[in-house]
Every structure is written in structure tokens, then in C-alpha cells.
Amino acid sequence: MNPPRQGGHRSPGPTVLGVALSHPERIYWPPSGDAGPVTKQDLARYLERVAPRLLPAIAGRPLTLLRAPEGIGGERFVQRHAARGLSPLVGMVRPRGEEKPLIQVDSAGALVALAQSGVLEIHPWGARSARLAQPDRMVLDLDPAENLSFGAVVAAALALRVRVLALGLVPFCKTTGGKGLHLVVPLAAGTRWDRLHAVAAAICERLAREAPERFTTQSALAGREGRIFLDFQRNARGASAVAPWSPRARPGAPVAMPLDWAEVTEGLDPRRFTIASAPARLEAPDPWAEMEEAARSLPPLSQVR
Ligand code: ATP
Ligand code: MN
């Protein structure tokens, strides 16, 4: 007869999509407010469930990952290259022009392997690995100053939406799981980084010029009081933005959530989207379903300024 198992004796862990989880009970997000704890196994099951919505936003792209193997209270590091400690089930890609292999996740199993590896945030690049010289997403990042209401962020997103639409482009909106909102604009093939950066800058700078009391494009914290920082710097090769449905390594296990524009109203509370609550939204149609069909070419810069 076997003696009873003692602590430290590794029993075979549970598997999710065939991926074995060690220490499935490890707490990645401790309880916070009304939110219960979220364990490694909870994260793995969450990623398995939301894979049909998350994978389209990240598959085929290099990823920047935020790892915190001991949970949100522990050491954290940003990882852009395949390296020690990352499960071999997490994919790799070696695009032209890159010296070292980058990280790419194309399957639900590889998503679960991210959970096993202590990855708490997933940030895709704005281009596909096969065509890194051609961005296919513009990201405008709205960062509110401390003390600003979320309603002010909503108003900024709606103001930007009108401008982006007027340029013949189609913006989508997501919460970040943090303090702001992102506008994501799909771009037709053949877009170049320098033009994208110039157009994104011009859109933001024009809005800041017209309403300087509400907006700024200056990254210096000192000039941001009471205003929203319109950050267009995501629009560069190698820059990333958090994936829709990605968790954030912040208290309460919030997630970034794609929205229908009808939801982007005064009462929007981004904190209500969490690992626990978000899967219920899978029942509703995907507000980003038309993203690929909505890809357009950039307008001439003269039209923006
Ligand atoms: P919030 O709404 O709270 O601002 P956010 O995701 O927009 O959330 P930011 O700090 O504004 O967070 O950063 C914007 C994006 O820039 C992030 O989503 C992330 O992809 C990228 N980023 C920011 N800081 C880093 C970093 N240290 N390393 C890698 N990428 C980063
Ligand atoms: Mn931001």
C-alpha cells in the first residue's frame, strides 16, 4: 500500500485542452473587493472558453507577454522573445528582419500553455508576422489623467470616432481592463508604418489643438492634469496593445473587452468586465465580428490635418 501523499509530492495535475497544469491552485489574482480569487486553473479555463473571440485578435501576430508567475503581487516581466520558462507549447515565429524568434499563439491549447507559464497579459503587435512591414491595425490609446471621470474618456472616444469615420476609416472600441479605452482601426493591406504613424499623430494632434482644455498629445505627466492623453505611439513596428479579452495583471482580474459603439455611453463601467464575468458575453454577437471586412486604406495626410 502506498503511504498517504505528503505536501510537495507532485500528483498529476489537471489538464485543460490536454495541457498539464502544475500548481493549478496557485492564486494569480487574490480576492479584491467583491471579486473572488483567480487561480492558474481558473485562468486556463477562462482562456479556453474565450479562445474563439481572443484567437482572431492574436493569431498570426507576434505577441508581447506580461508574465507574473507568482501572481499580480509578485515579480513581473515583459517578454517579447521565446525564452526559458515559457512552455514549449507556446508558439514561436521568426519573421524576416527579426534576429530572435518572437512569440506567436495560434491555438486554444497554446493559450492554455500561456496560463501554465504565468502569462497574465497578452499584447499583440499591429501587424502580422508574415508581413511585419505592413501594419493592419491603427490603435489610438486614450489615457485619462487621475481624477478624471470615465465619462470623459467615453466622450473622447466618441469624438475620435466621428473624426475617424470622416476619414473613411472604421473604428472599433474596447476597454483596456485599466483606466482608458482603445480605438482600433483595421487597415487595408499595403499600409506603411511611417504613414500610419503620421496619420494617427495628425488625428490626435488635431483634436488636441481644437479642444486643448480636454486633450493633450504630450506624454509628459506634468501637462496632463485634468485632460486625456491621446497616445498614438502604439502605431510603430514592434509596439503592442493589449488584446481584446486579455486579462490584466491588476486587482480584481479585469479584462479588456470589445464593445459595440452602442455600449460606449456615459454609464460605461470598464471594471465590470472580469475573468469571472466576461464569458457571459460570449452569448451575445461579437461586436468586432466585422473587423476584417472593415479594413480601409489610410487617407492622404492632407485630409487629416
Ligand atoms: P490603460 O487603459 O490603463 O491605460 P493600457 O493597456 O492602455 O491600459 P498603457 O500603459 O496606456 O496601458 O499602455 C498602452 C499599451 O502599450 C499597452 O496595452 C501595452 O501593450 C503597451 N505597453 C505599455 N507599457 C509597456 C511596457 N512596459 N512594455 C511593453 N508594452 C507596454
Ligand atoms: Mn492606455
pLDDT tens across 57-76, in order?
A: 999 999 999 999 999 999 99
Pairing of strands 137-144, 228-231: antiparallel
- Nearest ligand to the CA atom of 271: 1
For residues 222 and 174, the model is more confident at 174
pLDDT tens across 18-34, in order?
A: 999 999 999 999 999 99
**What pLDDT is stored for residue 5 in this prediction?**
46
Query: Which residue from 153, 173, 176, 268 has its CB within 8 A of the most atoms of ligand 1, so it is best to mutate?
Result: 176
Q: Is the pLDDT of residue 2 over 60?
A: no
**What pLDDT is stored for residue 3 in this prediction?**
45
Task: Give the residue whose CA is nearest to atom 13 of ligand 1.
Answer: 241
Please give the DSSP secondary-structure letter assigned to residue 283.
G
Cβ-Cβ contacts under 8 Å for 2 (sequence gap 6 or more): none
**What pLDDT is stored for residue 6 in this prediction?**
47
Give yes or no for a contact between 95 and 81, defined as CB atoms under 8 angstroms apart. Answer: no
Return the percentage of the chain with pLDDT > 70, whole number.
Answer: 96
- Nearest ligand to the CA atom of 242: 1
Q: How many A from CA of 256 to the centre of ligand 1?
A: 12
**What pLDDT is stored for residue 13 in this prediction?**
82
**What pLDDT is stored for residue 10 in this prediction?**
54
